[in-house]
Amino acid sequence: MSWNTELPLIAILRGILPQEAGAHVQTLLAAGFDAIEIPLNSPDWRQSIGDAVRTFGDRALIGAGTVLQPSQVDELAALGAKLVVTPNTQPAVIRRAVALGMTVCAGCATASEAFNALDAGAQALKIFPSVSFGPDYIKALKAVLPPQVPVFAVGGITPENLHRYLAAGCVGAGLGSDLYRAGQPLERTAHQAAAFVRAYKEATK
């Protein structure tokens, strides 16, 4: 299994509005990001994702988070989205997305959920909420997972603690409120994006 981005950090733009999404995605790409997730509980997500795919789809893996239903996968595929991120382990969602040629990062917390996600075809796993479990838990879970499966830490990841999750065996992380909060200025997005990229490079050099 592989994760087909240059930088294994997923930018989560929860709550972003269509009229501001393009500028923030552009800022993230300029910082080095190439995986963008717009959760489906964001306002007018269809427009935001569709616009992002049309403008940046050749430069980044773009799609949605908080995907809960196979019907949502169908909508995303129609928009041209390539990334499906779930908060939970729902085999029907995973199978539909994989059948449509999409990359799935499935949310899980236990070994049973992780293996159910892999059995359904997920190409990557996200341990959520990672900050509640901690890196020691993830390291123990990684010990029973196939070593080639990319595992992402999601939930509570900051530039200051990212290195702990990478040391525990995560390939990367999904970055939520410490990277982007709804309504924040572009300058904040640029600052935090640069901080995360520096932290990742420092931890993996």
What are the catalytic residues?
Answer: 37, 126
Residue 152 β-bridge partners: 126, 172
Which residue in the block uniquely carries the two structure tokens 């892999």?
118
Picking from 118, 60, 204, 7, the residue whose alpha carbon sits closest to that of residue 126 is 118
Burial class (CB in 10 A: 0-12, 13-18, 19+), 46: middle
**Are β-strands 9-12 and 172-175 bridged in parallel, bridged antiparallel, or unpaired?**
parallel
CA-CA distance, 48 to 41, in Å (whole number)? 12
What is the Cα–Cα distance from 154 to 39, expressed in whole angstroms? 13
